[in-house]
Chain A
Amino acid sequence: MKRTGPILLGFVVGMLMLVQFFTPNPWIAARYNNVLDWKQVVFGVTLILGVLSLLLHHGRRIRRRVAGWSYSGVTVAGLIVMILAGAVFGKERGPYPWLFAYVQSPMQSTLFALLAFYVASASYRAFRARSLHAGLLLAAGVIVMLGRVPLGEMIGFTVAGRFYSLATLSDLVLTVPNLAAKRGIMIGVGLGMTATAIKIILGIERTYLGKGA
């Protein structure tokens, strides 16, 4: 039963999800909404488990004074301060929205802004023309990047009296080889998703259930 129960449950819920996609029937739509509501309940319970695991993980680091334990102290302090701020003063005014707007949001924006530097360092490595593939990538990268700026409109070549700018070439690279490759990947992803879903619904794929499965 320990093995059959979850597989049976997976089959019933999986089939319900599959059927609701194809039918407009309100009874089935209501059952679908029930499942979404249950998911919210499960999420709420596991969020408590999550916060407990966070406290246990960082609490142990603080107790053992492992390297960088002070960061764990900041994490735990941040968690407690935010909970207290929300519980005592409410979410709409007081320190809770202030901490959110002036501490959390700027920190997230800072990390997001770092992406520009990471893109530069990753591009530098990728565009080193050490092989034919890397050379092609470099050529495509140069065409697309120059084609996206006003200068790209002016650089180009003339064939049979017609001017082809880098902007035109850039569009060609993006809408033909690039899009074809992306669609190929998306077709594979779609099939992979469907196959995984069918395997789980039918109980063929059981790794996610653990060793007993």
Chain B
Amino acid sequence: MSDPAAAGWFQIERLPAAIATLLFAAVLFFFLRQARRGRPLFIRRIAGLEAVEEAVGRATEMGRPILYCAGLDPMEEVATVASINILGQVARKAGEYGTRLIMPNRDPIVMTVAQEVVRDAYAAVGRSDHYDSNDIYYTTQSQFGYAAAVCGVMLRERTATHFFIGHFYAEALVLAETGNSTGAIQIAGTDSDSQLPFFICACDYTLIGEELYAGSVYLSREPLLLGALKGQDAAKAVILAILVLGSLLGLFGVEAGRWLGGGGAP
């Protein structure tokens, strides 16, 4: 085994990333403290998340199930964790209304976690009797096998509301277009920039990029989590300011990118 001392303890080329992470964490902590002190925090309206209640209500009125897809990525991906967090909130509403929630899964670990989250969400609203673990099931690891299985559920179960929340690949349009053809109300959310245009075309509401990560906080309205969301916005403002400053410096021939660990302008 190589000598730890020789290998060193820190990869110096990752120093900018370490500093950025620490600064971002500091901004988050600041806003978390503000939230803990009870300071009211304004969060902009996100149409896709406002529509969740309406979408669940529509399925209830029609007496049809809700379909939830958490994407293709495994549990360790942050987009999947964010999706499971939103699933918890959607399941609460489905439980309150007594509406069936169907969730085919591509990853067995995601399936296991989803079963726990949905069962607990139903229990939290006192509707444990409505929970059926058979509705959250494994399909296949195959990308298009999964897409075929989900499309089959849409057509056979005549689901009234579809949630496509998580990280998707080429199957995104197959799912969204099939759902669109059934007339279901569709809410999508993904951090995959290459699939976003397809969801925007084929779904009623789309959570774009960071809105996916804000979903659970927005729906739960938990003050402490709202603080973290506000911190995210503040960090984005700082990055915007750095970009503007970098662009201005670039106009004057100063290669600011080098200071941030980049190669500077070509």
Bound pair (A, B): yes
Q: A residues within 8 Å of B by Cβ?
A: 18, 21-27, 39, 42-43, 46-47, 49-51, 53-54, 56-57, 60, 67-68, 71, 104, 107-108, 111-112, 114-115, 118-119, 121-123, 125-126, 182, 185-189, 191-200, 204-205, 207-208, 210-212
A205 to B11, Cβ gap below 8 A? no
Annotate B115-129 by CB proximity to A: 1 below 8 A, 0 otherwise.
011011101100000
Which has the most chain A C-beta neighbours within 10 Å: B137, B214, B220? B137
B260 within 8 A of A: no
Annotate B166-208 by CB proximity to A: 1 below 8 A, 0 otherwise.
0000100110110000000000000101001010111000001
Q: How far is the CB of A6 from chain B (nearest CB, A)?
A: 11
Set of chain B residues within 8 Å of A188, measured between Cβ atoms: 208-210, 236
B78 to A196, Cβ gap below 8 A? yes
Q: How far is the CB of B12 from chain A (nearest CB, A)?
A: 10
The answer to whether residues A208 and B88 also contact, given A56-B137, A122-B202 and a CB cut-off of 8 A, is yes
A53 to B133, Cβ gap below 8 A? yes
- Which of B11, B113, B136, B213 has a CB less than 8 Å from the CB of A193? B213
In the assembled complex, the Cα of A194 lies from the Cα of B84 at a distance in Å of 17
B173 to A115, Cβ gap below 8 A? yes
The answer to whether residues A211 and B120 also contact, given A114-B174, A205-B216 and a CB cut-off of 8 A, is yes
- By Cβ-Cβ distance, the 9 closest A-B pairs, closest first, are A50-B138, A192-B213, A50-B108, A210-B120, A188-B210, A46-B108, A192-B210, A211-B120, A211-B124
Set of chain B residues within 8 Å of A118, measured between Cβ atoms: 173-174, 177
Set of chain A residues within 8 Å of B139, measured between Cβ atoms: 54
Chain B residue with minimal CB distance to A17? Answer: B76
User: Secondary structure at chain B's binding surface: helix, strand, loop or mixed?
Assistant: helix
Q: How far is the CB of A173 from chain B (nearest CB, A)?
A: 14
Q: List 22 contacting pairs A-B, 8 Å CB cutoff, sorted by A.
A: A22-B10, A50-B137, A107-B145, A111-B147, A112-B144, A115-B174, A122-B198, A126-B200, A185-B209, A187-B236, A188-B210, A189-B213, A191-B210, A192-B82, A192-B212, A192-B214, A198-B28, A200-B81, A204-B225, A208-B88, A210-B121, A212-B120
- Which of A18, A54, A123 has a CB less than 8 Å from the CB of B138? A54
In the assembled complex, the Cα of A119 lies from the Cα of B120 at a distance in Å of 39
User: Secondary structure at chain A's binding surface: helix, strand, loop or mixed?
Assistant: helix
A122 to B177, Cβ gap below 8 A? yes
In the assembled complex, the Cα of A114 lies from the Cα of B224 at a distance in Å of 45
B60 within 8 A of A: no
Set of chain B residues within 8 Å of A18, measured between Cβ atoms: 21
- Which of B7, B76, B235 has a CB less than 8 Å from the CB of A39? B76
In the assembled complex, the Cα of A53 lies from the Cα of B105 at a distance in Å of 10
In the assembled complex, the Cα of A22 lies from the Cα of B17 at a distance in Å of 9
B224 to A182, Cβ gap below 8 A? no
A46 to B209, Cβ gap below 8 A? no
A195 to B28, Cβ gap below 8 A? yes
B156 within 8 A of A: yes
A23 to B9, Cβ gap below 8 A? yes
Which has the most chain B C-beta neighbours within 10 Å: A42, A50, A193, A198? A50
Q: How far is the CB of B190 from chain A (nearest CB, A)?
A: 9
In the assembled complex, the Cα of A186 lies from the Cα of B1 at a distance in Å of 39
A26 to B177, Cβ gap below 8 A? no
